[in-house]
Amino acid sequence: QTEIEFWHAFTGRLGELVAEQVETFNASQSDYKVVATHKGNYSETLNAGIAAFRAGEQPDILMVFEVGTATMMAAKGAIKPVYEVMGDGFDQSKYIGSVKGYYTSPDGNMLSLPFNSSTPVLWVNRDKLSEAGIDPDTDMSTWEQVGDVLDQLKGAGVDCPLTTAWQSWIHLENFSAYHDTPFATKSNGFDGTDTELAFNSPAQVAHIGALGDWAKDGKFIYAGRRNEGGANFRAGECALFTESSAGYAGIKAEAEFDFEVRPLPYWKAVADEPQNTIIGGASLWVMEGQTDAEYAGVAAFMDFLSSPEIQAKWHQDTGYLPITSEAGDLTREQGFYDANPGTDIAVIQMTAKEPTANSKGLRLGSFDQIRGIIDEELEAVWSGDKDAQTALDSAVERGNALLRRFEQSAR
Ligand SMILES: O=P(O)(O)OC[C@H](O)CO
């Protein structure tokens, strides 16, 4: 039996669900055994994979969050493109375009498997709204409307009207795509590594400024750079929570209140209607230097993960997007969206409009480090130390220095 090493970044409910998938695969055949190992959070898992490659001890499969995509694409000699691993019969057309597009080479080949792809949405604690005397069905399509609701929640004495996970991903990266505004030049890096950050334009400054005002007034409660705010929301402390669609797994397992998923709000003052949101989560990269038997095992496992039943179950359990049209169709046929209203919002938000140059996604080198800079600057806004314009100007300048260094090293 050939062992396939799979390093991932899941804990909690998602950790249980990925373990279940691996067990199902292992029990379904006897040629291969996938051994899944948790390597820490997304950044730690990426760094562990890079360090292991340098030491010649890389796993067969490495989960890399979307932030690491450009880094992995540039890591020549470290990765084996998924379309090559899958071989001649690989039908790339079954994967949903807007999902696989993030991980596809300029000549149209899938470089990694978009196993756990998400997009941000608005999670609502309906009980919290009712307790505050607010109609839980109140329209919160726009940030203007959310602002009114936050006023009412604060007025009713709610301690945590709004919190967020992944502030840069949701409130700058997706915000920009959703309002069809560049996050960076050169189609957010898709058209070349000579890209510059551009998220300090009036639309982004206005949004971060509004969040900063809400933070000052105790209406927006900052909980951390990753998904720390999830614990507060799941415990029933917060009324509204901007978080990944994959927050679903934990919320469904833990929330003892009536919850709902809504589309990510947009500013009516900036756009008549929203563009599309972009991908987050992670994809599975295959590492170089493995045996033919291991690559055959990786292909079998990825084929299994992409099969309609397994993929539909994963989508329904986790809130991650279905990666194939068949898995989406099967989910609909099974009545899942009817029984769980709102669970199709993430897919609709991603696919309702043809992406523009500003909304295909991001492909920026050293982006994990750049996110660290953005996090630092945003925290200065939430604490009242910097205004939004100053903080975003500084993040752009500091981030551009890292992009230039990446560009030189990629040559
Ligand atoms: O929580 P996830 O897995 O949907 O990931 C959210 C962000 O995309 C991470 O960069």
Full pLDDT tens readout for the chain, 411 residues: 999 999 999 999 999 999 999 999 999 999 999 999 999 999 999 999 999 999 999 999 999 999 999 999 998 899 999 999 999 999 999 999 889 999 999 899 999 999 999 999 999 999 999 999 999 999 999 999 999 999 999 999 999 999 999 999 999 999 999 999 999 999 999 999 999 999 999 999 999 999 999 999 999 999 999 999 999 999 999 999 999 999 999 999 999 999 999 999 999 999 999 999 999 999 999 999 999 999 999 999 999 999 999 999 999 999 999 999 999 999 999 999 999 999 999 999 998 899 999 999 999 999 999 999 999 999 999 999 999 999 999 999 999 999 999 999 887
Closest residue to atom 6 of ligand 1, CA basis: 281
> Torsion angle of alpha carbons 248, 252, 257, 262, nearest 10°?
30
Which atom, in ligand 1's list, is nearest to the CA of 371? 10
Closest residue to atom 2 of ligand 1, CA basis: 281
Q: Which residues line ligand 1 (CB under 6 A)?
A: 42, 65-67, 116, 118, 166, 169, 227, 244, 246, 280-281
Tell the burial category of 7 from Cβ atoms under 10 Å away from its Cβ (0-12, 13-18, 19+): buried
> Torsion angle of alpha carbons 92, 98, 103, 109, nearest 10°?
30
Which atom, in ligand 1's list, is nearest to the CA of 226? 9
Which structural domains are found in the chain, ordered by start? Answer: 2-118+279-333 (3.40.190.10), 120-277+357-410 (3.40.190.10)
In testing the pocket of ligand 1, which one of 11, 64, 65 has its CB within 8 Å of the most ligand atoms? 65
- Measured in Å, residue 351 CA sits from the centre of ligand 1 at 18
- Measured in Å, residue 214 CA sits from the centre of ligand 1 at 24
Whole-number Å distance between alpha carbons of 232 and 223 = 8
In testing the pocket of ligand 1, which one of 121, 183, 244, 315 has its CB within 8 Å of the most ligand atoms? 244
In testing the pocket of ligand 1, which one of 13, 66, 368 has its CB within 8 Å of the most ligand atoms? 66
